[in-house]
């Protein structure tokens, strides 16, 4: 049944958010730390477990996939309730702080993406050499 | 007759939200195909329309929640609120390649720390340049450049004034909106087309709404990877902001 998939997803999100709140409280932070990240890992692990035991028939999968497919419209709904007026009213200091933070971090993405990537490429290189 | 119609739309807010967003998506994909020949992705246009509507609504209603402050469109707020957003983001992880996440784990973690610290430094420096040169104001605005949640959390912890807090929230909002709208234009420059770079992107930028909006417009398959790291970003910022980063600012400024 389709609801099984939606129920599995809901359970993962609730458990993940709970873990995130627990972690936040444990390190004394007033925020949910990684709740959605934990929820995602729970969903990946539990669906893999169910798939291997043949407990994930197409209707159940559809119960998750619908929400995954509705994701972009949800982002659009989210964008349309941002406080855009306040963002622009903050004046040049706020705008410049936001813009420069984005520019500097953006420029460094390729450098950081390379960290740890070399290890993966080396076996490939060894192979091409021996061939 | 008109009143009855408005009543139905208001009473069934979530359904109105679905219909309005669906219409926005349709219009955006049509514009994308017609005006840009698909070069500017439909979802990117939809997000810009959404932000534009939020701006207009904010001006008209004087509220803080964009179109959600218009009674008839309150359902859009429910649809894009934290609950459904977290639900839908998590669902994107279904069918993710877990090995890829583990392989890119190190650069993901490095990007988280680099992103928080760099944003903070840039924000604090801009604050100082504009005359907010005491340690508390610099740290609060710097934290705002991390995300608009870290700003007020840090400010409240170290006793910043309310105008500085407002400024820090504004800085975070600018960041979030810019990431959402700007990234699709520059995605190719940083090779943002694979799970590893998406994870680093999520860790460097951190604003979950910005990251997921941007990735949705570039390639929806990348959304879960960026979301995975960015979901830890605000928490890390709230942890470092009022503590290590504030103390470091104090040490520098004196």
Q: What is the ipTM of this complex?
A: 0.80
User: Where is mean pLDDT largest: A36-40, B45-49, B134-138?
Assistant: B134-138
**CA distance to A37, A38, B163, per residue, from A16 (Å):** 7, 5, 35
Instruction: DSSP for A10-33, please give it.
Output: HHHHHHHHHHHHHHHHHTT-SS--
**Shared domain check, A76 and A55:** yes
What are the chain A neighbours of B68 within 8 Å (beta carbons)? 80-81
Average of per-residue pLDDT across B52-64: 89
Which pLDDT does position A121 carry in this prediction?
A: 47
**Shared domain check, A119 and A107:** yes
Q: How many Å lie between the alpha carbon of B66 and the closest alpha carbon of chain A?
A: 4
B154: contact with A, CB 8 A cutoff: no
B4: contact with A, CB 8 A cutoff: no
Q: How many Å lie between the alpha carbon of A66 and the closest alpha carbon of chain B?
A: 8
Of A68, A73, A109, the CB nearest to B21: A73
**Shared domain check, A98 and A39:** no
**Shared domain check, A7 and A65:** yes
Q: Which residue of A has its CA nearest to B85?
A: A74
Q: Do B87 and A13 touch (CB under 8 A)?
A: yes
Chains A–B, number of C-beta pairs less than 8 Å apart? 331
What are the chain B neighbours of A83 within 8 Å (beta carbons)? 54, 58, 64-66, 169, 173
**Shared domain check, A129 and A74:** no
A91: contact with B, CB 8 A cutoff: yes
**Shared domain check, A79 and A103:** no
B226: contact with A, CB 8 A cutoff: no
**Shared domain check, A79 and A112:** no
**Shared domain check, A77 and A35:** yes
**Shared domain check, A96 and A86:** no
Q: How many Å lie between the alpha carbon of A34 and the closest alpha carbon of chain B?
A: 4
**Shared domain check, A73 and A120:** no
What are the chain B neighbours of A123 within 8 Å (beta carbons)? none
8-state DSSP, A81: T
**Shared domain check, A96 and A56:** no
Separation CA A40–CA A35 (nearest Å): 9
> Which tens digits make up the pLDDT trace of B173-214?
888 889 988 888 888 888 998 999 999 999 999 888 889 889
pLDDT band at B115 (very low <50, low <70, confident <90, very high): very high
> A75-79, B68-72, B75-79, B111-115: which range is least confident on average?
A75-79
Domain that holds residue A54: 2-90
Average of per-residue pLDDT across B152-180: 84
B29: contact with A, CB 8 A cutoff: no
List the 155-194 stretch of B: residues with Cβ below 8 A of A. 166-180, 182-183, 186, 190-192
Of A24, A88, A101, the CB nearest to B145: A101
**Shared domain check, A127 and A84:** no
pTM score, two decimals?
Answer: 0.76
- Overall domain count for chain A: 2
Residue A118 has pLDDT above 80, yes or no: no
Residue A105 has pLDDT above 80, yes or no: yes
Q: Which residue of A has its CA nearest to B65?
A: A81
Which pLDDT does position B142 carry in this prediction?
A: 94
């Amino acid at each position: 049944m389709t609801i099984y998939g939606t129920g599995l997803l809901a359970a993962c999100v609730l458990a993940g958010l709970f873990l995130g709140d627990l972690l936040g409280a444990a390190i004394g932070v007033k925020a949910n730390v990684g709740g959605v990240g934990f929820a995602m890992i729970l969903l990946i692990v539990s669906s893999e477990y169910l798939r291997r035991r043949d407990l994930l028939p197409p209707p159940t999968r559809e119960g998750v996939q619908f929400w995954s497919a509705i994701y972009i419209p949800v982002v659009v709904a989210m964008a349309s309730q941002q406080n855009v007026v306040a963002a622009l009213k903050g004046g040049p200091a706020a705008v410049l702080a936001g813009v420069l933070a984005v520019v500097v971090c953006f420029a460094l993405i390729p450098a950081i993406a390379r960290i740890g990537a070399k290890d993966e490429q080396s076996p490939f290189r060894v192979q091409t050499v021996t061939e | 007759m008109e009143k009855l119609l408005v009543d139905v739309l208001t009473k069934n807010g979530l359904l109105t939200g679905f219909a309005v967003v669906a219409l926005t998506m349709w219009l955006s994909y049509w514009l994308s195909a017609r005006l840009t020949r698909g070069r500017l992705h439909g979802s990117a246009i939809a997000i810009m329309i959404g932000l534009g509507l939020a701006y207009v609504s904010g001006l008209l209603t004087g509220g803080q929640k964009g179109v959600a402050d218009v009674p008839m469109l309150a359902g859009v707020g429910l649809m894009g609120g934290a609950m459904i957003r977290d639900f839908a983001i998590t669902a994107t992880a279904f069918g993710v390649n877990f090995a890829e996440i583990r392989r890119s784990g190190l650069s993901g973690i490095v990007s988280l720390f680099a992103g928080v610290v760099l944003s903070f430094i840039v924000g604090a420096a801009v604050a100082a340049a504009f005359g907010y040169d005491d340690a508390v104001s610099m740290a609060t605005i710097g934290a705002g450049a991390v995300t608009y949640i870290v700003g007020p959390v840090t400010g409240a912890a170290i006793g910043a004034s309310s105008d500085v807090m407002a400024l820090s929230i504004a800085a975070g909002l600018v960041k979030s909106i810019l990431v959402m709208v700007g990234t699709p234009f520059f995605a190719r420059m940083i090779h943002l087309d694979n799970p590893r770079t998406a994870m680093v992107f999520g860790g460097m930028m951190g604003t979950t709404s910005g990251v997921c909006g941007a990735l949705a417009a570039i390639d929806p398959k990348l959304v879960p990877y960026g979301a995975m790291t960015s979901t830890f970003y605000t928490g890390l910022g709230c942890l470092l902001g009022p503590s290590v980063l504030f103390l470091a600012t104090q040490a520098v400024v004196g």
